[in-house]
Amino acid sequence: MTNNRLLAGLAGMVLGMSSLGVAAKGLNYTYGEIGYTNFDSDTAEADGATVRISYGATDNVHIKLQYSRLWVDTKDKGFFGSTTDNVNSDRFIIGGGGNFTLLEKASIFDALDMLGTLSYYDLQNSGSRGSGGSNNSSDRGWQFEGGVRALIRKKFEITAGLTHLDIDTFDDTGFHAGAVYNFYKKYSVTGDVHYFDEEDTTEYFVGLRMDF
């Protein structure tokens, strides 16, 4: 998919979801996160740092940015594109989507939202081959995440849903799940996992969130 098609699809989704009439009042969509990322698959292991920013542009529209710096130990050609001795990867994800409230103040939920986010995905690799040569590559495509986000008793939040990732070297649909615990005013601890059956790929994130 070309960049123009990605942008057109993203714009269409944002406009469509923004027309929904129910605002998400219980959950905040404007926050920043920083933390540790660990990645494991049949073809590579990696870890590094991740920064995420979410902005609630309107009651029903959110924008997301993410940057990860990963240090990779490749096992074979696969997700990170090539077999090398040393690989560093810079991952950029930018997108937006819609969110609307399914329930408010019902049973154990203070709020239950449905949301979807379509993003442009860019994974830039740089490294050295065992023979001394260099290896630089870039995998681009798109990512869609859809699911539910639930706030429980104002302090605890859970998320769950499906993720579809389609880039040059990888195309699969998996699932994601996460949790957030608010421990002090605007500060929370957060963690999540993404899993894809292709190459038995699992990515973990643990970090700190600050709401704005």
Residue 211, pLDDT score: 97
DSSP state of 20: -
Phi, psi values for residue 198, rounded to 5°:
-65, 125
- Domains of the chain listed by start with CATH number: 3-211 (2.40.160.20)
What mean pLDDT is predicted for residues 171-185? 97
What mean pLDDT is predicted for residues 176-204? 97
Burial class (CB in 10 A: 0-12, 13-18, 19+), 109: middle
Nearest to 68 by CA among 120, 139, 122: 122
Residue 7, pLDDT score: 47
Phi, psi values for residue 120, rounded to 5°:
-85, 135
Residue 23, pLDDT score: 40
Residue predicted with more confidence, 25 or 31: 31
CB distance 161 to 194 below 8 Å: no
- What is the per-residue pLDDT across 192-208, written as a single tens digit (0 to 9) for each? 999 999 989 999 999 99
Tell me the percentage of the chain whose pLDDT exceeds 90: 67
| Bridge partners for 94 per DSSP | 65, 120
Nearest to 158 by CA among 178, 183, 182: 178
Q: Residue 171 pLDDT > 60, yes or no? A: yes
- What is the per-residue pLDDT across 79-128, written as a single tens digit (0 to 9) for each? 665 555 568 999 999 999 999 999 998 888 999 999 999 999 999 988 65
Supply the pTM of this predicted model.
Answer: 0.82
Residue 1, pLDDT score: 47
Spatial separation of the C-alpha atoms in residues 155 and 185, rounded to whole Å: 10
